[in-house]
Amino acid sequence: MHRAQRYTKKRRSQWLIMAAVILFIGLSSCARKDRAREQFVFRYNESSGIQTLDPAFARNQAIIWATNQIFNGLVELNEDLQVVPSLAEQWTISDDGLQYRFQLRSEVYFHAHPAFGVGMSDPETLRGRKLVAEDFVYSFRRLVDPETAAPGAWVLQFMDTLWAESPGILHIRLKQPFTPFLSLLTMKYCSVIPQEVVEYGGTEFRNHPVGTGPFYFKFWEENEKLVLRRNPFYFEKEGEVSLPYLEAVSISFIPDKQAAFLEFIKGRLDFLSGLDASYKDELLTQDGKLAAVYTDAIEMRSLPYLNTEYLGILNGNELDEGDPLREIRVRQAINMGFDRVKMMRYLRNNIGEPATFGMVPSALRAGMAKDYGYTHDPDRARQLLREVEESRGSPLPPIKLLTNASYLDLCEYMQSELRKIGLLLDVEVMPPSTLRQMMATGKASFFRASWIGDYPDPENYLSLFYSGNKSPGGPNYTRFGDVEVDLWYETSLAEKDPARRDSLYSLIDARVMEESVVIPLYYDQVLRFYPKGLDGLGVNPMNMLDLRRVRKAGQDPN
């Protein structure tokens, strides 16, 4: 072989080796980057499952948490429950409380989608269409459209008209003044969505959502896994650093809460929320402190939660003749026939506060009266039941209480306590979806429920007893109606003076307690567990999951 040929072949061989080395280094680097990106995935479990990712249907916490990562609204709540800007930079309200004018941020874009001429495989490098005021006009009209049948339509019941003055200016006019209206707009129901994507053929918006939020939709295998990825074009920054910090969010759907707890302990989940009977005594001491075995590896944070756990009773006029719950004395006997303090100590490890006032949780009661409600009084409860039995001429039949499996221990406690005062309780367990359907249609005469505040105002809790909100059109699941309560409630809506409004709220709450329409059990507490080294998760009385500022150990915010 000619020397030049040998030389050329040798050089080619050297170049091939060098190229292979470079490729190996490149692949190794990519692998390291992929591993690094994987390291910065936030993983949590949603045991109750997620039925939709359409914010117009964000009726429960599971959906709200997921949609909060994908969508934005005009305004939002900060950790102090103050209304602060989101997509609206600023706003003005007319003196009569009817006109709201919002100025939108100028550089906000929807996530990539084929409806914008941008493939769904391109969100890392391309963005979707720019946000304009007409997007809110479409989103709000869709929310209240009867054909949408959105459970969140009620939040805009006071809206009269809305229009876009320009691409950056939105107007809303109300039918009547409603003081908490800005707080209502912080709900995920009021998120902005793009019309083109909703109407895009071939996909459903519920499982292929597009918003403006910090994470975009990537993958969802229902009941298995939901994956969201970092939106590189998100408008918010912290200093000079673009949010969010995380690369992705991964949501699993393990239905068994004890199994999910074990995954958390093994380090396969980054977040555990709330307390379940299956692991509460493993994780907490009797007085509600983190067990010593976990203090080196786990952080625990808690604060009062805008959530009231209660038992609801269907309006007496809709109960069967002879149903003991038609009798106000029976309802009052139940309210005073069990020990809430003991219940919290043994069933909740003192996480939460006994509900001895009314429906409004203590975190919102600052200006309200505190001279009504029920404490444990078994002797008076027995006397009331004896009076009823004497007037009926026969013993009271058993009462059926409907619940789901997560609250079986609490309902069995009620069963045991009420037996001591002479009242028999049958507990029936059913799937959460079945129970919700029965409550909505008025087929549940006695049921366990909770009301998590949609916005931080006592009105939100008292709206459960306004006759205009009777289910299925509203959240009044007891279908309670009272002329004076309706008048007080309607007057409070336009009242601007906080002291007068609190006085009206107290009148409503006291009447509801007097009638024993509900049996308040406890005011809940936000409880969060996460690994040490996880920063920015925060905690708030609404128990909103906000992952914009979350960083995992070793993650460089730059």
Q: List % helix, strand, coil for the chain (3-state, nearest 5).
A: 35, 20, 40
pLDDT at 31: 43
pLDDT at 558: 56
pLDDT 10s digits, 11-30: 444 444 444 433 334 434 44
Mean pLDDT (the chain, rounded): 90
CA distance 380 to 386: 10
Domain ranges for the chain, please list them. Answer: 55-266, 305-524
- 3-state SS class at 364: helix
Q: Which residues lie closer than 8 Å to 1 by C-beta, 6 or more apart? A: 9
117 backbone dihedrals φ, ψ, rounded to 5°? 80, 15
- Is it the case that residue 109 has pLDDT exceeding 90? yes
pLDDT 10s digits, 427-459: 999 998 899 999 999 999 999 999 988 889 999
pLDDT at 38: 57
Name the pLDDT band for 277 (thresholds 50, 70, 90).
confident
Instruction: List, as one string, the DSSP characters of 24-91.
Output: HHHHHHHHHHHHHHHHTEEEEE-TT------GGG--SHHHHHHHHHH---SEEE-TTS-EEESSEEEE
Mean local confidence (pLDDT), 274-303 = 92
pLDDT 10s digits, 304-332: 999 999 999 999 888 988 899 999 999 99
pLDDT at 32: 45
CA distance 407 to 311: 11
Name the pLDDT band for 557 (thresholds 50, 70, 90).
low
- Give the least confident one: 25-29, 123-127, 196-200, 287-291: 25-29
Q: Which residues lie closer than 8 Å to 84 by C-beta, 6 or more apart? A: 75, 76, 77, 78
Mean local confidence (pLDDT), 275-290 = 90
Mean local confidence (pLDDT), 456-472 = 93
- Regarding predicted confidence, which is higher, 275 or 294? 294
Is 510 in contact with 464 (CB distance < 8 Å)? no
| CATH number at 55-266 | 3.40.190.10
The one-letter code for the residue type at 315 is N
pLDDT 10s digits, 377-418: 999 999 999 999 999 999 999 999 999 998 999 999 999 999
Tokens of residue 4, six digits: 């030049």
Mean local confidence (pLDDT), 83-103 = 96
pLDDT at 556: 63
Cis peptide upstream of residue 209 (ω within 30 degrees of 0): no
The one-letter code for the residue type at 384 is L
pLDDT at 21: 38
Mean local confidence (pLDDT), 119-143 = 89
Measured torsion, CA atoms of residues 389, 390, 395, 397, in degrees rounded to the nearest 10:
-30
Q: Which CATH number fits the domain 305-524, given the four candidates 3.10.105.10, 2.60.40.10, 2.40.50.140, 3.30.830.10?
A: 3.10.105.10
183 backbone dihedrals φ, ψ, rounded to 5°? -65, -35
The H-assigned helical ranges of 192-309 are 195-198, 257-265, 280-283
pLDDT at 491: 94
Mean local confidence (pLDDT), 202-211 = 90
